[in-house]
Amino acid sequence: MPVNGTPISDDLSREDGINIQHEAAADMTATKPVTVYYLAESDEQTYYVPVTKRAPKDEDDPITAAIDELVSGPSKKICLQTSIKM
């Protein structure tokens, strides 16, 4: 499955992140991974795409961390949308 036959180690898992979105200022030591789902469209079909973002490590409630990341929305560099309407 890897692009161009690039080998992947056997210990790769979802904990490593999916569609990782790092903002330039993300401090890896002060943040933790949070996987959220954004909307995408293809052939007039809507589907959810998992994206791993970085949330503050001191946020104890994983639901609050996920909602905060959903509200902040996806990177402008990717063609995804949030389903949160403000």
Per-residue pLDDT tens over the stretch 8-34: 666 656 665 666 666 655 677 888 888
- Burial letters 33-54, b for 16+ CB under 10 A, else e: bbbbbbeeeeeeeeeebebbbb
Domain coordinates in residue numbering, the chain: 11-72
Report pTM. Answer: 0.67
Average pLDDT over every residue of 44-70:
89
Band (64; pLDDT cuts 50, 70, 90): very high
Band (53; pLDDT cuts 50, 70, 90): confident
Instruction: Give the pLDDT confidence score for residue 1 in this predicted structure.
Output: 45
